[in-house]
Amino acid sequence: MKTMQKFSERDIALVSLFTAFVAALGLVPTVMLASGVPITAQSLGIMLCGTVLGSIRGFAAAGLFVLLVALGLPLLAGGRGGLGLFVTPSAGFLIGFPFAAFAIGWIVENTKSVGPFWATAGASIAGGVVLLYIPGIFGMAFAIEKSLAEAAVLALPFVPGDILKAVLAGLVTSSLLRMRPESVISRRI
């Protein structure tokens, strides 16, 4: 995998600005679900990191976001940040963000023969819902001492919202491809 020193100035700027973009999306009003994790447009931002920037840059942008949250920047929705978040029941989702972005980007890069909407929405469901929920459910089960099945039940209310966000990620990325194809790096690789 490429590391930061192999990134060009443009790559570093894109990765950083996408991290800032994900943080800015957290300022959109949130909806709190039963298990206490807020629904925000930030997970849509993580999906867009993968669909727009591709696997490596998407991983770097989402990874930088998680690193800065860990270092104490209040970048998560509601001005949250700090190491404390990594021992809460939603820690698994947070840690899973870079891997979800990588998986989404990888799928988009490798499905160029598929239509842009179906490729990006499908990739967002696979990476941003299916894959992301694996560490999410494990983290929740570990933090609140529940079985994986019980944790999965607690995580279930998020699934419809996240599928909706995956569809939105597909719509946004296909709109970008129509309006300005060169801006979607994942389809140029």
Contact flag: residue 183 with another protein (CB under 8 A)? yes
Helix/strand/coil for 38: strand
Q: Cβ closer to another protein: 5 or 113?
A: 5
One symbol per residue from 125 to 164: x for binding another protein (CB under 8 A), - otherwise; what is it?
Answer: -----------------xxxxx-------x----------
C-beta of 121: minimal distance to another protein in Å?
12
Contact flag: residue 104 with another protein (CB under 8 A)? no
> How far, in whole angstroms, is CA 37 from its chain's centroid?
15
Q: Cβ closer to another protein: 31 or 113?
A: 31
Contact flag: residue 108 with another protein (CB under 8 A)? no
Write the single-letter amino acid at 3.
T
Q: Cβ closer to another protein: 47 or 113?
A: 47
C-beta of 94: minimal distance to another protein in Å?
12
Long-range contacts (CB closer than 8 Å, 24 or more residues apart) made by 109-116: 109/54, 109/55, 109/186, 109/187, 109/189, 112/187, 115/174, 116/170, 116/173, 116/174, 116/177, 116/187
Strand partners, 17: none
